[in-house]
Amino acid sequence: MDGGGACKALSFATRRAVMAGAIGCVAALSLPGCGPTEARVLRTAEFHPLDYPTSRALLDMGHRIEAYSGGKLSLKLYAGEQLGSERDTLEMATFGGIDLTRVALAPLNAIEPLTFVPGLPFLFRDEAHMRRAMDGAPGERILRSLEPHGLIGLCFYDSGARSMYNVRGPIRSPDDMRGLKVRVQNSDLYVGLIEALGANATPMPLGEIYQALVQGVIDGAENNLPSYEGERHFEAAPFYSNTRHVIAPEVLAMSRVTWQRLSASEREIVLRSARESVPVMRRLWDAKVEDARAALVAGGVQFNEIDEIEAFVEQVKPIRRQFVTTPEQERLVAEIEEMA
Ligand code: GTR
Per-residue pLDDT, averaged over 104-130, amounts to: 98
Question: Does 185 score more than 80 pLDDT?
Answer: yes
Question: Does 311 score more than 50 pLDDT?
Answer: yes
- Lowest mean pLDDT, pick from 35-39, 197-201, 229-233, 335-339: 35-39
Helix (H/G/I), strand (E/B), else coil: 301: coil
Per-residue pLDDT, averaged over 58-68, amounts to: 98
CA distance 131 to 152: 20
Quick one: pLDDT at residue 39?
A: 78
Ligand 1 atom closest to residue 52's alpha carbon, by position in its atom list: 8
Ligand 1 lining (C-beta closer than 6 Å) = 47, 86, 104, 106, 159, 185, 206, 223-224, 227, 250
Q: What is the DSSP string of 194-214?
A: HHHTTPEEEE--GGGHHHHHH
In the structure, how many helices (H) and strands (E) does the chain have?
15, 11
CB 154 within 8 A of CB 254: yes
Q: How far is the CA of 104 from the centre of ligand 1 (A)?
A: 6
Per-residue pLDDT, averaged over 3-21, amounts to: 57
pLDDT tens-digit series, residues 131-153? 999 999 999 999 999 999 999 99
pLDDT tens-digit series, residues 285-295? 999 999 999 99
Furthest C-alpha separation in the chain: 64
Under DSSP, the state recorded for 24 is: S
Helix boundaries (H) for the chain: 12-19, 53-68, 86-94, 106-109, 127-135, 137-144, 188-196, 209-214, 225-230, 233-236, 256-261, 264-298, 309-315, 318-323, 327-338
Per-residue pLDDT, averaged over 190-218, amounts to: 97
Query: In a mutational test of the pocket of ligand 1, which residue from 52, 89, 223 has the highest number of ligand atoms less than 8 Å from its CB?
Result: 223
CB 143 within 8 A of CB 278: no
Residue closest by Cα to atom 13 of ligand 1: 206
CA nearest to 165, candidates 110, 212, 228: 228
Ligand 1 atom closest to residue 224's alpha carbon, by position in its atom list: 7
CA distance 276 to 268: 12
CA distance 78 to 75: 10
Q: How far is the CA of 288 from the centre of ligand 1 (A)?
A: 15
Q: How far is CA 32 from the centre of its chain?
A: 31
- State the helix-helix crossing angle for 327-338 and 137-144, rounded to 10 degrees: 150
Per-residue pLDDT, averaged over 61-90, amounts to: 97
CA nearest to 40, candidates 48, 30, 50, 51: 30
Helix (H/G/I), strand (E/B), else coil: 29: coil
The CA angle 140-145-146, to the nearest 5 degrees, is 110
Residue closest by Cα to atom 2 of ligand 1: 104
Q: What is the pTM of this model?
A: 0.92
Residue 89, C-beta contacts closer than 8 angstroms, at least 6 positions apart = 45, 47, 83, 98, 101, 103
Question: Does 3 score more than 50 pLDDT?
Answer: no
Q: How far is the CA of 218 from the centre of ligand 1 (A)?
A: 17
pLDDT tens-digit series, residues 23-48? 334 444 444 444 455 679 999 999 99
Per-residue pLDDT, averaged over 57-84, amounts to: 97
Quick one: pLDDT at residue 248?
A: 96
Supply the mean pLDDT for the chain: 92
Quick one: pLDDT at residue 12?
A: 65
CB 292 within 8 A of CB 228: yes
Q: How far is the CA of 261 from the centre of ligand 1 (A)?
A: 30
Query: In a mutational test of the pocket of ligand 1, which residue from 164, 185, 186 has the highest number of ligand atoms less than 8 Å from its CB?
Result: 185
Quick one: pLDDT at residue 18?
A: 75
At 21, the pLDDT band (50, 70, 90 cuts) reads low
Between 24 and 332, residue with greater pLDDT = 332
Query: Checking phi first, is residue 300 left (phi over 0); if not, alpha (psi -120 to 50) or beta?
Result: left
Query: Checking phi first, is residue 52 left (phi over 0); if not, alpha (psi -120 to 50) or beta?
Result: beta
Quick one: pLDDT at residue 6?
A: 38
